[in-house]
Every structure is written in C-alpha cells, then in structure tokens.
Amino acid sequence: MAPEMNGRPKSTSVNIPAQAVKNLTVEEMYNKEKYDLSTMKEGDVFKMLDTKKDGLNDDQIKERLEKFGHNRLDEKTQNPIIQFLLFMWNPLSWVMEAAAIVAIAVSNGGGRAPDWEDFVGIILLLLANSIIGFIEQRNAGSAVKSLMKSLAPEAKVKRNGQWKVIDAAELVPGDIIGIKLGDVIPADGRLIVEQGDISIDQAALTGESLPVDKKHGDEIFSGSICKQGEGEAVVIGTGVNTFFGRAAKLVGNANDEIGHLQTILAKIGNFCIAAIGIFIIAEIFVMYAGFHYSYRRGINNILVLLIGGIPIAMPTVLSVTLAIGARQLSEHKAIVTHVTAIEELAAVTILCSDKTGTLTLNKLVVDKDTIKKYADIESGEIIRYAAIASRLEHPDAIDACIISTYGDKDKVRDGIQELDFKPFNPTIKRTEITYKETKDGSVHRISKGMSHTILDLCTRDKTDQQIKQLNADVDEFAGRGLRALAVAIEDVPSGEKDGKGNGFKLIGLLPIYDPPREDTKETIQRALELGKYLFYILVPIFIT
C-alpha cells in the first residue's frame, strides 16, 4: 500500500514494460507488489492498460475479452450425471450397495432364485435418496443463477470515441465508463473526470453506512453505488480481479470443505462397516465351520445382518427432511444451494451478523433529547443552524439526516441568501456556509463537522472548562455508539462574502446514530428461541 496523504493513498510511479497489457500475464498484471493499479499515477495507468480517454477500439476489446474473460464471477459447473452419482458415494450407501450385490449376485443356490425383493427395496431407497438431494440442489442452483442474471447491471462505456450502453459483463480493463447518481459501479476503476462532488456508497463491501467522497484519481469498487455527482473512470479490474471478486473467490474456496453433516454420516457409515465386517466374519465361521449350514441358508443370514446392521433408511429420511426444510425456506425467499447447509446453520453455536441495514435501518437520526449545548441557544435553533450549513441538493447521509430532523426542507433557508458554501471533504472534515439575512443585511457564517476540528476552529468564548466538557461529551456519545457532530457560528461585520469573522463560537454537539429496526428485538429473541431446537428454521428471520 502506498503511503497516504490527507487520508488518501499517495500515487506511485513504476516502470511499465512495453505493451504490458499484451505481454504480461493476468497474474503478473494484478501482482500488487509490482503493479498496483489503484495507486499508480494516472499516466502510468493509461500506459499500463494501453488505453486513452476516447476508449478502446474493437480489436483491443476482442483481445482483452479472450485474455481477461468476461466481467462476471463464473461458477464451477459439474456434470449432472456425476453430481447424481455422488449422492450414492458415501459409507452408508456403500453398505447398502454391498447388500444389494449380495441379494442379487451372491444369493443363489438351494433351488431358489436370487432375493429380488431385498434387491429392489435397497435400490429404490438409494435412488430416492439421490433423486431428492439431486433435484433440490439443482433447483437451488438454478435459482441462484436466475438471481445473479437479474442483478447483472448495464454499463455506459466509451468505445471508439462514442458512448454506448452495454452489458456490464462485456467490460474489459482499459474501458472508459461513465457513472452518475444511482448507478451501480460495474467494475473496479480509477476516477479520471469529476462533475461535482462524487460520493460512493460502499456499504455492500464494507458495511459502513456513510457514503465515501471520491476525488480525481481515487479507486471505485465494483458493486458500490454512486450517491452523488457524475464522472468518468478507467476500468482497472474486472471479474475475479475486482475487490468484490477476490473476496467472493475466498468465500467460494471455503465451500469446498466437507460439511458437518457429511462428517457425521461418514463416521456412522465407517462404524457400521467395521462392526458389520467383524460380525460377518464371525458369522461365517460359526455357520459354516461350526454348524455346517448350507450355502444359501448362510447367505440369507449374512444378508439379514447387512440390511439390519445399518440404518438403511437414515439417508433417505435425512434427505426428505432437509428437502422439506429447503422448501419452507424458499417460501421466505431464502436460497439454499446445498440442502446440508440447513443442518450446518442449525448446528451453529455463535451467529454473527453485521449491524448496518440488518439490525439497524441504515438511516442516520439525531437524538434530540441528548443534544449538548455550549451557549444560550435552544436545541431547535442548533438543529436549524446545522441544517443551514447542509447541502440541500443531493445531500450526503449526514446532511440528509440533519435536514430531516429539522423538518421542512423548503423552509431551512427562509429569510437568508447563500453567499458561499464549502461542502464536506476529508481534508477539512466540516461544511461551512456564509449567508446574508435578508431582513437586515447582516452576514453570518456557520460550520458543522468533526467535533475536534470544529473545536480547533473556535476562538470566541472558548475556555478550558468548555474543552474538557466537549471531550467528556464526545466520550459519552462514543460509549453509547453515537457519532458526534459539532456546530459553531460567527458573525462577519464587514458584510462581505470573504470577510473576516469575529471568531467562531461553539454552540452545540449533535448525537447521531443509526436506529435499530423495529423487528430487531423480536428477531434476536426468535433466534434465541429457535436455538433450542436442533434443526431448520433459523435462516428466514434474517432474510429482509
């Protein structure tokens, strides 16, 4: 990671090999120790990807689709016949299959036909178990594919100097894409053009409720949402080579492990095989060596031991039970990709959940009852001052929260004329407005933002006691999980937009929090109650 400046990665220069996008392998291009496209200087990014601001041409697009593949996460596919047969490949099934072979191939002689009844019964149980598991898993897989297909976004891209809308799966590294308010970012990229302040919601990737401000040269991630502004970006990563793709690949690799239920069934099967093997050997010696049984009579007894010595119906009962559970979950819009995942979830001892949007509303609110005052100004006026210092058009999450708390958006700036407005950015960590009162022509300035940034800005009526009190109040809010937003005001005696003020005065500290959902308490209570049981109904309560 490059060293940071003002909270942002510092651009780095690297030696770019000739025709890097053609001569380097995909693995070499995305080796961050050598070529970190997220922190390179913009010129180096364009050189590395052999692109320009007019976009790629048709030949380049064709070559890169062949090299990098489509901009999507490809799922592993398995031959359906092999997938079906694998449901018969486990220790319990081996014993049942051995019993079937004994019934049809070994049970001959003594003037009687093979034991067709047992053979057919065993085969039907094996087929029932495999068919149920196969159908449920295929249905779940089809549901997932349908869902992913419906979520595939389109992308606005510049190619051959012309803007066009294409399927996001057709994007390649080096494409120039356009983003605007409401767009889902289709691939990882670097901003090269800004039109207004750009704000990106990365909650799907980080869980952070507040959108992140992006500037020229910043990286934007696939799957995030543009909440404010418009711009252009050069695509630096697609498919599995995106931030989201790398995370999904790690999760996908974890799914290759053997599940808890399969492990238990394997242990039961191995125990049955060992126990039955020992008893069959003993039975052979006793029947044929000790009592001199006839061949067919002894084989019939061995078959009884094989069939009766294992829980022959257990796999079928489990498959039917899990299939019913998967069907019930589907009614709650939960997709089960593997039926055994139901048992896996039912067996958990600790259930971890993210907070934002799951346990909370993902909507910031001001706690009016605990507003801290540092001047002879009422809480309602403090909120009004904070609302005046907010952007009314395309507000970010905090500005929208303040305006909503005040009430009528159209009345926020009644009787005042905006002279200058400085939006929030990570450098100054505050907003600031200079405005004129229409009734008397007086000019005032308001600033709101990070508590200690505002405190450092204040010079009027600031005392050691006030500093100590602010620190204590911020710690109190933090202990309760609240964000602290400070508000300060000053007058501008000269009446000029850029005139010097009489010094900012701290007037209040607003506690902001993300309130819990109405059903959060009930959800947690139901989860605790369902935890007393050993099986399947835990997922639906977490589907929103």
**DSSP summary character for residue 360:** B
Q: Which of 152, 192, 241, 182 is nearest to 55 (CA)?
A: 192
Return the CATH number of 24-71+171-252, one of 3.40.50.1980, 2.70.150.10, 2.40.50.140, 3.40.50.1970: 2.70.150.10
The dihedral of CA 214, 219, 222, 223: what is its sign? negative
Distance of alpha carbon 415 from alpha carbon 413, whole angstroms: 6
Domain ranges for the chain, please list them.
Answer: 24-71+171-252, 87-150+259-315, 365-513
What pTM was estimated for this model as a whole?
A: 0.51
Paired residues of 416 in beta bridges = 437
Q: Which of 115, 183, 354, 408 is catalytic?
A: 354
The secondary element (H helix, E strand) that includes residue 244 is: helix 243-254
Axis-axis angle for helices 260-284, 91-101 (nearest 10): 40
Asked whether 366 and 508 are in contact (CB, 8 A), the reply is no
Asked whether 283 and 302 are in contact (CB, 8 A), the reply is yes
Report, in angstroms and rounded to the nearest whole number, the Rg of the chain calculated over CA atoms.
34
Half-sphere exposure of 68 (CA within 13 A, CB side): 33
Distance of alpha carbon 406 from alpha carbon 422, whole angstroms: 20
Q: Which amino acid is at 357?
A: G
Cα→Cα distances 115→100, 107, 118, 273, Å: 9, 6, 6, 22
Measured in residues, the chain has a length of 544
Asked whether 188 and 182 are in contact (CB, 8 A), the reply is no
pLDDT of residue 120: 85
**pLDDT per residue as tens, the chain (544 positions):** 344 444 455 555 667 877 788 888 888 888 888 888 888 888 888 999 999 989 999 999 999 999 998 888 766 666 778 878 877 777 777 777 877 887 777 766 666 767 788 788 878 878 887 787 777 667 655 655 555 554 447 889 999 989 999 988 899 999 999 998 888 899 999 999 988 788 888 876 776 667 888 888 899 998 888 888 889 999 999 988 888 777 766 655 555 555 666 777 778 778 877 888 888 889 888 888 888 888 778 777 877 777 777 676 676 677 677 777 777 776 766 666 666 677 777 677 777 777 777 788 878 889 988 999 999 899 999 999 999 999 887 787 888 899 999 988 888 888 999 999 988 877 788 999 999 999 989 999 999 999 999 999 999 989 999 999 999 999 999 998 888 999 999 999 998 888 899 999 999 999 998 888 888 888 888 877 776 653 333 333 333 2
Say whether 354 is catalytic.
Answer: yes
Axis-axis angle for helices 314-331, 91-101 (nearest 10): 130
Mention every residue, 6+ apart, whose C-beta is less than 8 A from residue 383: 366, 368, 371, 402, 405, 406, 510
Buried b (16+ CB within 10 A) or exposed e, 468-482: eebeebbeebeeeeb
Burial group, residue 354, by CB count within 10 angstroms (0-12, 13-18, 19+): exposed
Angle, alpha carbons 301-307-310 (nearest 5°): 130
The secondary element (H helix, E strand) that includes residue 225 is: strand 225-237
Distance of alpha carbon 103 from alpha carbon 99, whole angstroms: 6
Asked whether 122 and 312 are in contact (CB, 8 A), the reply is yes
Asked whether 184 and 233 are in contact (CB, 8 A), the reply is no
Distance of alpha carbon 373 from alpha carbon 466, whole angstroms: 10
Half-sphere exposure of 326 (CA within 13 A, CB side): 26
Domain covering 365-513: architecture: 3-Layer(aba) Sandwich (3.40)
Half-sphere exposure of 314 (CA within 13 A, CB side): 20
- Structure tokens belonging to residue 370: 């605990």
pLDDT of residue 507: 94
Axis-axis angle for helices 260-284, 295-308 (nearest 10): 160
Buried b (16+ CB within 10 A) or exposed e, 440-460: eeebbbbbbbbbeebbebbee
Same fold, 24-71+171-252 and 365-513: no
DSSP string of 274-341, one letter each residue: HHHHHHHHHHHIIIIIIS---HHHHHHHHHHHHHHTS-TTHHHHHHHHHHHHHHHHHHTT---SSTHH
